[in-house]
Amino acid sequence: MPRDAADDVNDRTTATAPLSTCFRRARASKPPRTFCGLPTERPDRETRASNATPDARLSSVNAHRERVVDVKKLFLVVNGAKTRTTRGKRDVEKVETMCRDRGVDVVVAETTRAGHCAELVRDADLSDVDGVGVIGGDGTLREAVEGWTRRTATATKKIPIFAFPCGTGNNFCRDVGALTVEDAMEKVCGGRVRDVDAVSVMDGRGNETVSINVVTWGMARDAAETAEGMRWLGPARYDVAGLWHILKNKRNEATIGVSDALEGSMEEKHQDYLMMFAQNTRCSGRAFAFTPLAQLDDGKFDVVVCDKGNAFHTKSLFDATKTGGGHVEDAKVSYVKAKRLSLKTNEVERVGIDGEVTVPTPVKLTAMEGAWCTFV
């Protein structure tokens, strides 16, 4: 169809409009009511704000399952990379001092390589231990949980696993309200324990990895990888890397399917996507609320799938995530809750897990309801 003058005017108007105007136009479009057969979530600003507290991260349906543990002894895994820095040494000393002051015995093990934390937790004698703690971030905590899932066949009791937040993101700790090592210690001494979920990720090589935070693919995963090489920029590295990949506009053609059941058929959708997130936690990255209604123990993970738009619109979506998750109101965003997800690409691509692990496509995600427990 030939273009007319109105088409040219519309193109020039979109190209020069402020980012906020582009975002409002996208939100004015008719948003999808379903994605692959599941109803989409469209929480408004007030709803998102009411779900931003640690208490909202836990389902009221499971409140009766909460229990109290009297902590006398901890098995503590220290990320070995932390002990090689001045700040890391201070963190370890602070935690050990707090434990001694509270009368909590500590058995310390230090990691020496990637994956070592999972091995330590899998193989440790935990018969007289009341909790397993890590000094690190989401990546170290993920390894501890993966180690726990590898030993559950022989486990006689479910032991709380938690983190003293000494990592970069600390998104899981943020969800339970443990923003500092002091906060984490208070929760340990309080002893409140709740069963929480994880996600099983089966990759293209047939290997299984456990996620506790986020599984991501597309532009956001690519930008996160680029940001890792820009640590010298500090927190600004996420914005710089994001802008670079917005301008790059790589094609992300894939088939994504979701289901709210653990078995049965799955409806799929094939197209050129912008990115995909599957999260247990509300935030990922630098405390960005990608899935503002996520709960840690609802038996599901939250999925956000974004369609492609122009560079201005993509930038506006990223800006909206920084202000409480307003991106979920956008017409190009589908937000659903699922128990299974399938991602298939034409060529092998990389999928990120909890900011630490990268696995190849295709991937299959399955919710692991109540797979582990933690202090809340």
Q: Show the domain range for 268.
A: 18-55+202-370
Region 352-357: mean pLDDT is 88
Going through the chain in order, the beta strands assigned E by DSSP cover 34-35, 38-39, 67-68, 73-78, 105-110, 131-136, 161-165, 192-202, 208-211, 214-218, 253-259, 267-279, 301-307, 333-338, 340-345, 350-353, 357-360, 363-375
Residue 25, pLDDT above cutoff 90: no
2: Cβ contacts below 8 Å, ≥ 6 apart: none
Domain count for the chain, please give it. 2
Of 190, 223, 242, the position where a domain reaches its end is: 190
Of 136, 160, 190, the position where a domain reaches its end is: 190
pLDDT number for residue 24:
53
pLDDT number for residue 224:
79
Same domain? 245 vs 361: yes
Question: Is 236 inside any structural domain?
Answer: yes
Same domain? 321 vs 206: yes
pTM of the model: 0.88
Confidence band, pLDDT 50/70/90 cuts, at residue 226: confident
pLDDT number for residue 133:
97
Question: Is 7 inside any structural domain?
Answer: no
Residues 294-338 have pLDDT tens digits of 999 999 999 999 999 888 888 888 888 877 899 999 999 999 999
Question: Is 62 inside any structural domain?
Answer: no
Residues 256-304 have pLDDT tens digits of 999 999 999 999 999 999 999 999 999 988 788 999 999 999 999 999 9
Residue 9, pLDDT above cutoff 80: no
Average predicted confidence (pLDDT) for the chain: 88
More confident residue, 6 or 161: 161
* CATH classification at residue 31: 2.60.200.40
* CATH classification at residue 134: 3.40.50.10330
Of 190, 216, 251, the position where a domain reaches its end is: 190
Same domain? 140 vs 30: no
The pair of structure tokens assigned to 247 is: 């301008």
Task: Report the percentage of the chain scoring pLDDT > 70.
Answer: 91
Residue 369, pLDDT above cutoff 70: yes
Same domain? 299 vs 181: no
Q: Tell me the H-state helices in 164-323.
A: 171-175, 181-190, 219-228, 236-248, 311-321
* Beta pairing class for 73-78 and 131-136: parallel
Region 131-146: mean pLDDT is 94
Same domain? 133 vs 223: no
Residue 3, pLDDT above cutoff 60: no
Residues 93-113 have pLDDT tens digits of 999 999 999 999 999 999 999
Residue 71, pLDDT above cutoff 90: yes
Confidence band, pLDDT 50/70/90 cuts, at residue 237: confident
Region 171-188: mean pLDDT is 95
pLDDT number for residue 154:
58
The three-point CA angle 39-20-283 to 5° equals 50
Same domain? 210 vs 332: yes
Same domain? 244 vs 288: yes
Residue 130, pLDDT above cutoff 70: yes
Same domain? 166 vs 232: no
Same domain? 231 vs 290: yes
Question: Is 13 inside any structural domain?
Answer: no
In this structure, the number of other CB atoms found within 10 A of the CB of residue 221 comes to: 24
In this structure, the number of other CB atoms found within 10 A of the CB of residue 8 comes to: 10
Same domain? 128 vs 215: no
In this structure, the number of other CB atoms found within 10 A of the CB of residue 315 comes to: 19
pLDDT number for residue 152:
64
Question: Is 255 inside any structural domain?
Answer: yes
In this structure, the number of other CB atoms found within 10 A of the CB of residue 372 comes to: 23
